[in-house]
Amino acid sequence: MVETFEHLLAEPETLTERRLLRIANVQRLGWAEIMETALSQSRSRSPQAQWALLQPILEEAEVLVIQGRPTAPNRPKRLTRTRCGLVIRRERTREGWLLHLTGPRASDRIVGEIIDRLELEFTPA
């Protein structure tokens, strides 16, 4: 686990054993790429901010295990990298879902276009 994330975690030595075990367990489920993407695409470099970023990912995987549901990391789709350089990562929250749009092509214009397309798709005629 440390080898996978050491270059991304600001201060891995500050993580408690319990937190390290949670990360390692979810990594074993195949979610390493999702966690790596979240960390690498974030500008937050404090240990607290990074933990806050990882927590929803860990919780989603752990809930699936508790519920006995499949934990395939990208089924349903949780992460995609488009050919044009946009990275889209979904995250479950208590209120619903978040889509994180990052990468070299993430811009106000692209986000606006995505919102327009969603509005067209999901607004009743």
61-80 per-residue burial string, b: 16 or more CB within 10 A, e: under 16: beeeeeeeeebebeeeebbe
**pTM for the predicted model, two decimal places:** 0.80
Whole-number Cα distances in Å, 100 to 66, 67, 81, 123: 26, 26, 12, 22
Q: pLDDT tens digit string along 76-98? A: 889 999 998 899 999 988 889 99
> What pLDDT score does 45 carry?
87
pLDDT band at 2 (very low <50, low <70, confident <90, very high): low
Is there a contact between 91 and 108 (Cβ–Cβ < 8 Å)? no
Name the strand (E) or helix (H) holding 54. helix 47-66
Q: What is the mean pLDDT of residues 33-44?
A: 91
CA gap 41, 103 in Å, rounded: 7
Residue 23: name the closest of 50, 47, 1 by CA: 1
> What pLDDT score does 3 carry?
77
Q: What is the mean pLDDT of residues 58-74?
A: 88
pLDDT band at 59 (very low <50, low <70, confident <90, very high): very high
Is there a contact between 51 and 20 (Cβ–Cβ < 8 Å)? no
- Looking at the structure of the chain, the number of domains it has is 1
Q: Which domain holds residue 40?
A: 2-122
CA gap 103, 125 in Å, rounded: 33
At 111 the three-state DSSP class reads helix
Q: Is the pLDDT of residue 70 over 90?
A: no
Is there a contact between 88 and 101 (Cβ–Cβ < 8 Å)? yes
